Structure 1
Amino acid sequence: MNIPSQSGTAPFTLSVLDNALTSVGETATEGLQGVIDLASAADKHGYHRFWLSEHHAMPAAATSSPQMMLSRLIPETTNIRLGAGGVMLPNHSSLMVAEQFGMLEALAPGRIDLGLGRAPGTDGATADALRRHQSANEHFPQQVLELLGFMQGNFPADHRYSNVHAVPGPWQAKLNRVPGSISLPETWILGSSNYSASLAGQLGRPYAFALQFGDSDVDSALELYRKSFRPSGIIDKPHTLVSVLATAADDAEEARRQALSNSMAMLQMFKREPFVFYSPEEIEQYNANPHERQVIESYVNKTYHGTPPQVAERLEQLHERTQADELMMVVSGYGRKSLNTTVELMAKHYGMSGAN
């Protein structure tokens, strides 16, 4: 999909990731209704994908289960692809994830994405409460292969799970004499390191790089992914997506102020305090020491904030630099109104369908 630009056609697909943010003063019910509204708006405006992330024990992030939320979004949308960006696989049973996403795919054939990550999406104590063992990251590649085996129904005959089947899935379709092949979720490897890039390349799967995390080296990771890529029968050439924090407003200074909420929340994480979204006014009144101010400003600068042309300029520079096939805006700001504003303004800037 090419997105019309004011200066021609932007050579990348544009999508949205929502962390199901709930700001101070906002209930979980209000926050989740905001997710529904944003997904509907993204669908109407012609964005390609709408992803949700998995987080636990974080006051400002209300989706501990993206798959549950996706089932709610299916009837609210028509064309946009819906996905988890991602499911933190070591937190889960591979069979259960295969069953859950098989059900989602059956509900919305050809519209479901499954992004797989290995981080816990939380702190150490909560990871322990999730029964995530200490060596979980080491077994991530094997767990991914196990999940794919359940989803595709193609374990070797001598595999210990050869007679264990994810339903819905190919095995059920075969026994029910369903003609032709059934659709499967589009499975991605997510990450922000060379480890995930190499794994995605070896498995021949599309790769999504989370540039919103820290100072990750996106250039080296994408180069490694492309060099290590092996055609899998799913895709025959590398396919990449890069996600970035984004906040757009009609006024550039207001966009910068909205970017403060996420930046302050990241500082709180570094201080081992709860991830909470405070208003720009509260943050401006906070008496930060020089180191704290440096962290806040660092994350403000990482956010693609400004007027739509300013945000678009940074997106297009990122695309020129990385040659990513897709870019995804991790929309950020205080309150759901700010997130909707970013989605609407960027759609209008690029002349996307449904934008006025």
Structure 2
Amino acid sequence: MRLSVLDLVPVRSDQSTSDAIAASTRLAQTADRLGYTRYWVAEHHNMPSVAATSPPVLIAHLAAHTSALRLGSGGVMLPNHAPLAVAEQFALLEAAHPGRIDLGIGRAPGSDPVTSMALRGAAGRDDRDVEAFPDYLDDVVALMSARGVRVQLPRDLMRENYVLKATPAAVTEPKLWLLGSSMYSARLAAAKGLPYVFAHHFAGQGTIEALRYYRENFAPSDLASEPVTFLTVNAVVAETRDEALRLILPNLQMMGRLRTGQPLGALDLVEDAEAHQLGPRVQAIIDEGRRQAVVGSPADAVEQARALAEKFDVDEMMIHPVASAYRGTDPATSPAREATLELLAKELL
């Protein structure tokens, strides 16, 4: 089984943004050393518990501190950005690190409505940008290609068509992936012949249906001749199941607060999470999240991972290591997240 990593660059209550980035840099280096296939960072905005606001900036940083990993976005939320800006950023990353860059694209805003408005700027981009998502996706693909995009202009402005390209002399292109957590993304990926990743770590529901539709309706393209997909899953692996359950609790509580509309803060330390009194709605979300995650001892985790790979018919799994830390941990490190990658690699790589 191939293993990869998804990282939201979590910010614990004992960390600054600098600490969180330092911890994720160490995590990426751990994945690189262990032979993980790819390492993706997400795009979220105005969230106290997430430092991953700009995937291309983080990818450039991580690529400079690793040697073999494919670095990518999981993903860039395209309605927040002009297609040409995204194409230029990732074409430049590919030029700097040939053969190592993935561009994962999503349709969700990755933020609240106010933050989305601020991201889109004075031009006043709105819901029409979400509706135009398939066209924007085509634009990004074409702009990163060697041929570029021909723009029709009035004859009095220019006699010939104007060509837009992300780089003047692209040799290779980033690998494009479509991300999603609904049937919409499965349909679009199948229709456009794109590699596809369903956000099982976040949605947890509808994964089988989405992947089945994608495979059965896939239309081959220049980007993929056959269906290509893998599974994302939350994971905490420790020496014992009890230890893993303690380490995953802060993340599960944060998801419970998010889905019940409660205020969010930085990711709690384990001791603080264990002291919280939870209502039944949050507890139900925690229980469901625990069932969907890979969590336990190495033997437990390997059995769970292989069962998921068989259930969803994938030969690559993207691990989202969500362990928190104990009070007194060096803020610039995330030892339990590193241990999750170490213990899984020891059994599966």
Fold match (TM-score > 0.5): yes
Counterpart CA distance in 1 for 2:60 and 2:96 is: 8
Deviates more, 1:306-315 or 1:102-111: 306-315
Counterpart secondary structure, 2:194: coil
Per the alignment, residue 135 of structure 1 pairs with 128
Aligned to 1:98: 87
Aligned to 2:17: 28
Asked whether the equivalents of residues 5 and 320 of structure 2 are also in contact (C-alpha less than 8 Å), the reply is yes
The equivalent residue for 1:4 is: none
- Does residue 1:308 correspond to 2:298, yes or no? yes
- Is the 2:151–2:163 contact (alpha carbons within 8 Å) kept by the matching residues of 1? no
- Partner SS, residue 247 of structure 2: helix
- Change in CA separation of 1:156 and 1:28 when aligned onto 2, cut-off 3 Å: closer
Contact 1:156 1:162 in 2 (8 A): no
Kindly report which structure 2 residues correspond to 1:210-225, keeping only aligned pairs within 5 A, or say none.
210-225=199-214
Structure 1 residue 89: deviation in Å? 0.6
CA drift of 1:165 comes to: 2.5
What amino acid is the match of 1:342?
T
Question: Is 1:53–1:85's contact at 8 Å kept on the other side of the alignment?
Answer: yes
347 and 218 in structure 1: CA distance in 2 versus 1, 3 angstrom threshold: same
Query: CA contact under 8 A between 2:149 and 2:164: conserved in structure 1?
Result: no
Shift of residue 153, structure 1, vs aligned partner: 4.4
Deviation, structure 1 residue 55: 0.5
Q: Which of 263, 279, 282 is the equivalent residue of 1:292?
A: 282
Task: Determine the structure 1 residue equivalent to 2:187.
Answer: 198
Q: Distance in 1 between matches of 2:237 and 2:184?
A: 32
1:255 aligned to 2:255? no
Given that 1:239 and 1:325 are in contact with CA atoms closer than 8 Å, whether structure 2 keeps it comes out as no
- Once the two structures are superposed, residues 205-243 of structure 1 have per-residue CA deviations (whole angstroms, 9 ceiling, x without a partner) of 110111012332111101111122111122211011110
Preserved CA contact (<8 Å) 1:241 1:326:
yes
Distance 2:161 2:48 in 1: 41
**Paired residue for 2:142?**
149
More moved, 335-344 vs 43-52: 335-344
1:165 aligned to 2:158?
A: no
Within 1, Cα distance between the matches of 2:248 and 2:161? 49
The runs of 5 or more residues in structure 2 that have no matched partner are 154-159, 326-333
Aligned length: 330
How far the C-alpha of 1:139 sits from its partner, in A, is: 1.4
CA distance in 1, matches of 2:295, 2:54: 28
- CA distance in structure 1 between the partners assigned to 2:152 and 2:184 by the alignment: 26
Deviations 1:153-205 (A, max 9, x none): 4456565696242342xxx22xxxxxxx7110000000111110111111111
Does the residue aligned with 1:205 lie in a helix, a strand or coil? coil
Which aligned pairs between 1:42-81 and structure 2 lie closer than 5 A?
A: 42-81=31-70
Query: How far apart, in 2, do the equivalents of 1:219 and 1:159 lie?
Result: 42
* 1:250/1:307 contact within 8 Å kept: yes
The farther-off stretch of 181-190 and 157-166 is 157-166
1:201-350 paired onto structure 2 within 5 Å = 201-270=190-259, 271-335=261-325, 336-350=334-348
Deviation at 1:326, TM superposition (A): 1.6
Q: Distance in 2 between matches of 1:317 and 1:191?
A: 22
1:11-22 equivalent positions in 2, closer than 5 A:
12-22=1-11
Verify the 8 A CA contact 2:146 2:171 in the aligned structure 1.
no
Alignment partners' CA distance in 1, 2:43 and 2:149: 31
Q: Flag the 1:213–1:202 CA change in 2: closer, same or farther, 3 A.
A: same
Q: Return the TM-score normalized by structure 1.
A: 0.88
8 Å contact from structure 1 (residues 155, 162) kept in 2: no
Aligned-partner Cα distance in 1 for 2:214–2:130:
19
1:245 shift after superposition: 0.3
SS in 2 for 1:63: coil
- Gaps in structure 1 of 5+ consecutive residues: 1-11, 174-180
Name whichever of 87-96 and 328-337 sits farther off: 328-337
Distance 2:304 2:282 in 1: 26
Moved over 6 A (4+): none
TM-score (norm: length of structure 2): 0.90
Matched-pair contact (CA < 8 Å) for 1:248–1:341: yes
Quote how far apart the aligned CAs of 1:70 are.
Answer: 0.8
The letter for the 1-side match of 2:296 is G
Q: Which shows bigger deviation, 297-306 or 76-85?
A: 297-306
Separation of aligned partners in 1, 2:150 and 2:25: 43
Of 52-61 and 147-156, deviating more is: 147-156
